[in-house]
Amino acid sequence: EPDAQIAASASIGPFVHIGRGTRIGDGAIIGAGCAIGDRVEIGAGTHLHPRVVVYHQCLLGARVIVHSGAVIGADGFGLAREEGRWLKIPQIGRVVIGDDVEIGANTTIDRGALEDTVIGEGVKLDNQSQVAHNVHIGDHSAMAGCVGIAGSARIGRNCTVGGAGII
């Protein structure tokens, strides 16, 4: 979009969409086919590999690495039952990712329902993991492939979760 602010030293691949009011920092690399929503902030030195999707208003810190196929900021599984039917609850929080985080291929991190989903500084998430709405992961935690974290879970600093672990 015309009002996106992209640092002169950033690299933008082919077939990328960058939404209104988005800011991309110095030395950031945005791979081919990425879709970045409105009012997103991407820090200096962050690298989005091809085909990453970042929904509106998400914040990614400096030196974040996001591998192909990851989706950051999709709606969480927010539903309420009314008169025998499931109704969607608006998901108005964001995803806030600290500095030096790495997110594996095809990992999904849902936006918060009312508050933000927060991934702390230095967190490492392996491939095909799911982080649900309102989750907080403390600084320097690491999670192996296929970890699933249910909504509103709180994980402390320096925690390690083995492959296919479910929280």
User: Which SS3 state, helix, strand or coil, does residue 12 take?
Assistant: strand
The C-alpha atoms of residue 34 and residue 64 are separated, in whole angstroms, by 15
Which strand (E) or helix (H) includes residue 142? strand 142-143
Are the C-beta atoms of 4 and 22 separated by less than 8 Å? yes
Count CB atoms within 10 A of the CB of residue 107: 24
Single-letter amino acid, residue 148: G
In the beta sheet, which residues pair with residue 97?
Answer: 60, 119
Of 89, 88, 133, 90, nearest to 109 (Cα)? Answer: 133
Catalytic entry in 49, 67, 133, 136: 133
Catalytic, 133? Answer yes
Residues marked active site are found at 133
